[in-house]
Amino acid sequence: MSSEWRRLTAPEFLDPRVFNALRHGDKHESIAEDAKTVILQGVRFTVPSPIFVPGEIVYVRLRRFFEFMRKEDWDCAEALRAKEAADRAIREKAEYERRREENRKFNLSFGFPARFTIGQKSVRSGLLENSWGDGRNKRSVYHVVLEETISIGKLYRKSGDFLCTRDPGWLKHVDRLEDGRVNCKACLQILNRYGSKR
Ligand SMILES: [Zn+2]
């Protein structure tokens, strides 16, 4: 089997209409007449040594040269590509699940006494672009978003607030993330300070 396109020899005189037809489209079906010849639109194309099974379908395309690939080889290569893509998708999903679980464990490892998720400032809050003022890209900062109102000592936050900030007015522009890992320094400090396990 060869999943390479290989050179095919066109007849010395080739009807320009056939040439034009072949220029369009990715590949065209021809039929092998014998081991060294395929026929496409009544035109015979050849290879120097026997390759084809008479009657089989052979794809022909025109790039810099006329090239061919047996349909059987094309189908094999396609099946292989599809299998590789499916395997990759399975690996990526497993990797995503692993990372999500790892992040979840990390987020909970502080023993913080309230329910929360992870959130980022939304890109939709265009007005607030670069509003952190310290040069951080806000899309790379993952905050704790409280899912319940809390009052622990001096710490008071409403449900929906970031742990590091009392509602500054833009919290409707928060993207909740299932798979995030908190990395906002201010949020981490508070988690450490008020958590039971650190
Ligand atoms: Zn924060």
DSSP-assigned states of every residue in 137-164: -GGG--EEEESS-EEETTEEE-TT-BTT
CA distances from 71 to 58, 77, 99, 134, 176 (A): 5, 10, 42, 59, 49
Q: Is 183 exposed, middle or buried (0-12, 13-18, 19+ CB in 10 A)?
A: middle
Nearest 5°: the CA angle 14, 19, 25 is: 155
Tell me: the pLDDT tens digits for 30-45? 999 999 999 999 999 9
Burial class (CB within 10 angstroms; exposed 0-12, middle 13-18, buried 19+) of 121: buried
Beta strands at 43-46 and 28-34: parallel, antiparallel or unpaired: unpaired
Can you tell me the mean pLDDT for 49-58? Answer: 97
Q: How far is the CA of 71 from the centre of ligand 1 (A)?
A: 58
- Tell me the CA–centroid distance for residue 188 and ligand 1, in Å: 8
Distance 95 CA to ligand 1 centre (A): 26
Query: How many residues are listed for the chain in this entry?
Result: 198
Is residue 160 very low, low, confident or very high in pLDDT (cuts 50, 70, 90)?
Answer: confident
Percent of the chain with pLDDT over 70: 86
* Centre of ligand 1 from the C-alpha of residue 68, in Å: 59
